Chain A
């Protein structure tokens, strides 16, 4: 009844069925993505009679007689679209790729009408599609046909800005995300969640309900075969898969219903038999800590989950003798990860083993959790990560996995689940809200004389990664500066809110807001240039950190700050010129810095990388580091190829399937390039050594892989290694290696002194922005971001990380605040759109690190730590007002300006 990508199709949709559902489930067009089902994300954009529309808002019947085009069809049939696909790859414009179909389809509609669009036209045309990964700039570049950032490099070794190795599928609609892998006839799981933040509940007649509704199974706590708890930190595994008798946050799961797709289409959770007895709840930390407050966990008195502490020198005395002291209380709210792909997956039972396919940042941790929850030995569980449409920390925790596994085991049938956007926002982790009281002193020369940090972090109902935040923050709250006298304490406080967990930076971005804001105040009071003030205090090789750790090498913060100086001077001059006029808009320029330790804090976090060579000459890299868009598949392969000494294009990549790929640890703590990268380097070196040894060649020999045989060239001589003559092992490998790396750290003592990380990465951002003084609106104009990455394994991917991180930092600073019950969708919870993102200039600093692979350091989280404080400092520069509460909405800024005497 309509044409889909040039062929006639016929469907008989239900009343109310969305075009997106008909396309995905009835017509197999799973290149159409669904991120919100509400028009807010644009991932589902298709062309109907050449006009872009949200397929999730169109009744399927309305397409009758129309021409419907989706990404896969466009790329296959239209040169304009296949060109655009190549341009997206060349710019690195697709990171996770979940927004890419919506972006590209929207862009095709534009390019058909305007082959050479202006930047403004591109923004107007693409504004309906949200991207959480890229910061949009590379997408704009791709659509405008600007010169590609990627280079053609035959070897593709470290240092080369090659295209993503896994990019093709993302720009052609072929990538398969969590919701794209299930067979159409899989049973559907729907979780029943609490509408109350704190309540006792009793379940009614479940059997009668199941019979009435015609569903296959109902799951509750009593169906959890093993331990009904999950979590991430030993000793803090406290969150039930299904609540038992009491719920502790709005959105907590109490049961799940499993049924056929046609039955579930009209299923209304409101009919589920559960009675609630609402109990008093605490949402804020002050309330949670008050006498008589309801206690969330009996063994955590006063709702204090745990704390972290670092002390160095004598902070009291230092503050006493300081020439100036700046002090403030800073507050930030919940921030939602808002990846465009909601949690989704599929599970089946095969030969008595359960297989779970889902989007994830940590396949092996998922397996560990499932083993506990299912009470099943690990060998009987297989976790296969799908492509992950953004994670940013939240997909480190399990979400859908236990429901999938339990339902598959209970029904014996394939099952699938996809969180609705509201469900994803209600139930998965957030960035911790914080309340930070900070005092910093400086002497007359502008050297820091004492820094005291007392932070409370709202960790929500369950621990998740809260303990990590409590530990990380005190280690980092000094910023990348030499602070001899220091005391920092952070505590996680339970409330009846969704669990706060990991979100790019683990609390460090919040701490940086307070510390970097006060640095500007100190500099001004001392009459010292703000950048110069930071230079004077910046850490350097040989200078102890607040943990007493001394790095003999690799401390790159000065170089980062120095790199900003030209922009700092020219932008300040330009701002002065603009502000001399009397328009309502004032320009501000701000700088801020940050640092971040890569890997787990003083805890082992090994990665293993395995590789093998087949008799036919294929070199297979088992790359278990979850690529959530950041580029691990590419970077790890580049490092391995460099160490082995073959072109990266010669590698075949196998992902993190737990049946065949060893544990490369979790994609968090900016550890994959550093830790898994090192494992890849070791694996590459080991394989190289094996090959060379077999032909007795020297270390400098050149390996030329071919089919069936490798040539090893040494000077004028050539050895031939006949692979077909070697005995393949059970996996078909004639040679294999598996190497592990665990960063050297040392435990922290009771004062937080020790070696928490083997390396830190460093960063400094400069933000230029305009403030409309009468409306309180803030418009970033430009960012300059200097990042010390040790060694730039792939400069293009680095830019992508920086731009995406800045977009998230900007959202946190200016617009994002998750309020349970109020901003549970992407309509009310605002993340930056394409029009909010100004140009970013990335300055790559390479201060090699002795531990990093080829000197490389982690980057993924560093990228947003300086962003929010740079923005706040620019706002203060423009308005004179120091904003101490995020986000800085226009209303809050105007209110603060009123208090400060602006009219």
Chain B
């Protein structure tokens, strides 16, 4: 058996070098890595991302915001962000527990690509793009194309996520997030809904983003509903056509039919919440 190593590089160049040699698994908060660890321990070396300079934190940039790949959920909770990010912040507060939020990272949540990842719907409503780097160079992929399936992402060997980029939400827009689970805390979502709603001076919606998680292999935005919301005050009845992108399954947490029903209700509440707030 090959000798496994633990790498904890301090800069990105070094990390990408190590990654390019293969046989190594990036680990950030470890909150998905450890529960998924096979019996007998890791088969690959470990690349600890948490000491890489410049990978932490949320910063304002020319055209929006940058969330470093090693930014933890608790950093998101504490960050000073405009109300358009309220949904993302609410999601951060509902990821597992404080313990999980203090370790788990935003990028880890995306790369792990669970259909029930709480980070994905709010990031979709914020138009997030994923910045990917390798020893060869960098590329940027919109989030809805980065996650390609259940536990599948657009990352080639040697590549890692370095940051997310989010455009500035429209002035005054508000985000909201609502998660439905079978208990109060530490729960995998049965469904979750994120919205970002902007309104004009007359209180009519002029910007609408709605995304739903745990109802399809990858969380989805609902463009038809977003269009229907424009020009209204939020009092739109959610129809089956609006929910057409969703394909919820039956599992131990709930039936597909229930999920659809609940999504309709939660969207209504989230939109009203964003309008009233």
Contact = CB atoms under 8 A, between A and B. Distances in A.
B141 interface: no
Contact of B46 (A16, A127, A266, A832): A16
B174 to A, nearest CB: 22
Given A830-B182, A836-B184, A890 B190 contact: yes
A18 B34 contact: yes
A267 B30 CA distance: 21
A894 interface: yes
A106 interface: yes
Interface string B184-205: 1111101000000000000000
Interface string A127-148: 1111000000000000000000
Interface in B90-121: 93, 96-100, 102-103
B99 A54 contact: yes
A284 B48 CA distance: 46
A106 B98 contact: yes
A188 B146 CA distance: 43
Task: State the main secondary structure of chain B at its contact with A.
Answer: loop
B79 to A, nearest CB: 16
A81 B38 CA distance: 37
Contact of A127 (B27, B74, B185): B185
A127 B254 contact: no
Contacts of A268: 38-40
Given A59-B6, A835-B184, A39 B35 contact: yes
A894 B182 contact: no
A106 B253 CA distance: 29
A776 B98 contact: no
B5 interface: yes
Contact of B258 (A16, A37, A127, A890): A890
Interface residue range, chain B? 35 or more
Interface in A254-287: 265-270
A752 interface: no
B185 A269 contact: no
Nearest to B251: A822
B39 A57 contact: no
A45 interface: yes
A15 B254 contact: no
Contacts of A819: 252
Contacts of A14: 4, 41
A38 B37 CA distance: 10
B98 A52 contact: yes
Interface string B115-140: 00000000000000000000000000
Contact of B186 (A15, A62, A822, A833): A833
Interface string B229-258: 000000000000000000000001111011
B172 interface: no
B258 A895 contact: yes
A51 B74 contact: yes
Interface in A797-847: 814-815, 817, 819, 822-823, 827-828, 830, 832-836
A124 interface: yes
B50 interface: yes
B45 A15 contact: yes
Nearest to B38: A268
22 contacts: A16-B41, A39-B96, A39-B100, A54-B100, A57-B30, A57-B35, A58-B103, A61-B6, A106-B99, A127-B98, A129-B97, A130-B186, A268-B39, A776-B262, A815-B183, A822-B252, A828-B252, A830-B187, A835-B183, A890-B258, A891-B258, A894-B261
Interface of B: 4-6, 8, 27, 29-31, 33-35, 37-42, 45-46, 48, 50, 74, 93, 96-100, 102-103, 180, 182-188, 190, 252-255, 257-259, 261-262, 265-266
Across chains A and B, which 3 residue pairs bring their CB atoms closest together, nearest first? Answer: A128-B97, A835-B184, A268-B40
